[in-house]
Chains A and B, each alone.
Chain A
Amino acid sequence: KAGVTQTPRYLIKTRGQQVTLSCSPISGHRSVSWYQQTPGQGLQFLFEYFSETQRNKGNFPGRFSGRQFSNSRSEMNVSTLELGDSALYLCASSLSGHRNEKLFFGSGTQLSVL
C-alpha cells in the first residue's frame, strides 16, 4: 500500500510569489491535514479536509489556503510568499480524521523563500 505522497519534494521561491503544494493520501483515507514545521515554532496545524470540506483551521493568515478533490487528493496554496513562510510543509492522512486515529505523514515539501 503506497504511503502519503507529497510533491514537489523541494521548492525555491522568491518573496511575493505564490506556491501550490500537492498531497496524495493513502488509498481509502478521506481526511487530509496540513502542518507547517519550522525550527523555531515546531509543527503547527494549518487545516484539515474531509470529503472536500474544510473541517478545521489553524491560526494562519488567509494567504494560506487549501482544497480537497473528490479523490481525496489535496492541495495547499500560499500566496504573496514571505521569508517566514520558509518551512517543511507536511501532509498527513487518516481514514476519517478522528482525533485518536493513526495519522500517516508524508515526507513533506521543503519550501525556501528567498
Chain B
Amino acid sequence: TQLLEQSPQFLSIQEGENLTVYCNSSSVFSSLQWYRQEPGEGPVLLVTVVTGGEVKKLKRLTFQFGDARKDSSLHITAAQPGDTGLYLCAGASGSARQLTFGSGTQLTVLP
C-alpha cells in the first residue's frame, strides 16, 4: 500500500509570512499533484509535477518534485488570507488511474 505523509498537519501563520508544506513517501510516484480544498467544496488542482527534480512556480506558490520522485514540497511566499484552505498532495503510479492522497495540511493565514 502506498502512503503519502504530509506535514505539518495544521499551520496557522500571519499574513506576509512564508511557509512550506511537505509530502513524503517511501514509494516512487510517476507524477504528483497538489490540490487546494475550501470548506464545502471539492479539491481544485493547483499543479502536476512529473519529472524528478522538477520545479514549478504559480505566482507566489513554488512546487518541487524530489529527484527520486518520492517526495514533494509546496512553498508559499508572502501568504495571504486567500491562501487559507486544505492543501492536499496526491500521487499517481504506473498506469493506475487512481490517486493516493496525502492526509492534508490545513493552512490558516491570519490578516
Binding site for B on A (CB under 8 A): 4, 31, 33, 35, 42-45, 48, 55-56, 58, 90, 92, 97-100, 102-108
Contacts and interface: CB of A to CB of B under 8 A. Distances in A.
Contacts of A90: 42-43
Contact of B97 (A56, A104, A105, A106): A56
Contacts of B22: none
B101 A56 contact: no
Nearest to A105: B42
Contacts of A31: 97
B103 A99 contact: no
Given A99-B31, A102-B45, A33 B98 contact: yes
Contact of B98 (A42, A45, A102, A107): A45
A100 B48 contact: yes
Q: Name, among B31, B92, B97, B99, the residue most crowded by chain A CB atoms within 10 Å (CB to CB).
A: B97
Interface of chain B, helix or strand or loop or mixed? Answer: loop
Contacts of B97: 31, 33, 48, 55-56, 97-99
Given A56-B96, A102-B48, A43 B40 contact: no
Interface residues of B, number: 25
Given A99-B30, A99-B92, A48 B42 contact: no
B98 A58 contact: yes
Interface of B: 30-31, 33, 40-45, 48, 50, 88, 90, 92-93, 95-104
A105 B104 CA distance: 16
Q: Name, among A90, A105, A106, A107, the residue most crowded by chain B CB atoms within 10 Å (CB to CB).
A: A105
Contacts of B33: 103
Contacts of A97: 97
A98 B33 CA distance: 13
B42 A100 contact: no
Contacts of B30: 99-100
A100 B50 contact: yes
Nearest to A55: B97
Nearest to A31: B97
